[in-house]
Amino acid sequence: MMQTTPLACWMKEQTLEMLLITMLYEHTLTGKNAFFVGDLGKIVKKHSQWQNVVAQIKPFYTVKCSSAPAVLEILAALGTGFACSSKNEMALVQELGVSPENIIYISPCKQVSQIKYAAKVGVNIMTCDNEIELKKIARNHPNAKVLLHIATEDNIGGEEGNMKFGTTLKNCKHLLECAKELDVQIIGVKFHVSSACKESQVYVHALSDARCVFDMAGEIGFTMNMLDIGGGFTGTEFQLEEVNHVISPLLDIYFPEGSGVKIISEPGSYYVSSAFTLAVNIIAKKVVENDKFPSGVEKTGSDEPAFMYYMNDGVYGSFASKLSEDLNTIPEVHKKYKEDEPLFTSSLWGPSCDELFR
């Protein structure tokens, strides 16, 4: 695993470029390791943006997106909640003095020892999407308050929905009845719309399904008071406003103010994706014929040579999240080049010898 050096600063006296130059120089004198530079000011701006657009929804930051202490400290100070996937994440957050009521345990597949840890430290709110997990929770966490995780269709009109996580609406009644028999308290519903989904209308179906589950639960005898609309926010104000434009009138209909239902969400990369800059070092290069570029790389058909550059970071390090996300960030070259210097077709590669990612 690459050793990174997260550095958080307010950027009051230095620009990001100046700071990067300083850090690059320092790393040139040492090991030239890849490193992150973080701007906490951008995290504050993202929170302000959230409050301006969707103030009715409380954010629970997804800790797995970045567990850097500076990130957690600033978000705790801003009053966000935290969505944790493991014992370590829960411990990190609680060390900052965050109340257990502001932590939810969101792992879809929970280790028994970690459920017991959550019970011990008072983290009661957790998600569940199947009967086996429900029984596991019943045996190990008597005070658990469960959000039933329902699946969503991430492609309107598609043949198949995104069923990797979440139970079907059809199966919800069975799970609610099981929870009643097991004496597990179901307090609400969770769904998640992927950041890769381009159709904000998916929220229409998801909110309608959530309302149906609330009604089912009421008939069985549960009093539900929480709705978690998941993550999937890209970080742009436009996307946030677009989603709000769709969900706001539906929330007014299905879960109006005064209904006693608390609306929460799990933004993760929304807060941190634009706040961090990754600096990598080019450790090797290869000259190839333009038409011999690997598959997936655009070929120009030119007789000029092409270059493959290898970085000291990749999908087994800081780029791991990019396996499931579109990489739209354009890399910038620190070394300045002259305007009259020739340019060649080039591609960037990680250091791994893995045949899947090279």
353 assigned to active site: yes
Side-chain-facing half-sphere of 203: CA atoms under 13 Å:
25
- SS3 (DSSP) at 97: coil
Q: How far is Cα 140 from Cα 146, in angstroms, rounded to an integer?
A: 13
Annotated catalytic residue, options 84, 128, 178, 353: 353
Residue 306 is classified by DSSP as E
Of 99, 106, 125, 81, which Cα lies nearest the Cα of 226?
125
Token pair listed for 241: 């406003």
Burial 137-165 (b: 16+ CB within 10 A, else e): bbebbeebbbbbbbbbbbeeeeeebbeeb
Q: How far is Cα 105 from Cα 89, in angstroms, rounded to an integer?
A: 9
Q: How far is Cα 358 from Cα 356, in angstroms, rounded to an integer?
A: 6
Q: Looking at 24-154, which runs of residues are DSSP E strands?
A: 35-39, 58-62, 81-84, 103-105, 125-128, 145-149
Q: How far is Cα 50 from Cα 10, in angstroms, rounded to an integer?
A: 20
Measured between alpha carbons, how far apart are the two ends of the chain, in Å? Answer: 16
- SS3 (DSSP) at 189: strand
Strand pairing report for 58-62 and 35-39: unpaired
- Are the C-beta atoms of 94 and 103 separated by less than 8 Å? yes
Catalytic site positions: 353
